[in-house]
Amino acid sequence: MNQESDGEGECKGYTVKLNVEAFKGRCDLSHEGPAAKVEDCCVMCNAWRKKGCRGFTHMHNGCWLKTCSDVSEDQMLSVADATGGWLNS
């Protein structure tokens, strides 16, 4: 099940979707870690905002920071234990 929600706390302003890789092979900015939870990626993306961070994928205790936030269902891959997050427009 892919559960999508508006972020809360550190992830306020993001849409967060469970069990998806929303940016596979697109708009890579940086790989950062360790990141035990999704909120860690939100903190990292916020810190990288001036460098263009607009989204991320949390997977394998790391954050893949992204420069894009344009997400379409046909580009999302179903990946267990991955979480995609992107800034709301």
Break the chain into its structural domains and give their ranges.
15-69
Cis peptide before 34 (omega within 30 of 0): yes
Query: pLDDT band at 86, cuts 50/70/90?
Result: very high
Whole-model pTM?
0.91
Distances (CA, A) of 25 to 39, 75, 79: 22, 10, 14
The distance in angstroms from the start CA to the end CA of the chain is 25
> Can you list the positions of beta strands (E) in the chain?
4-6, 14-21, 28-32, 55-59, 62-66, 77-87
How does DSSP classify residue 49?
G
Supply 7's token pair.
């972020």
Q: What is the pLDDT of residue 35?
A: 97
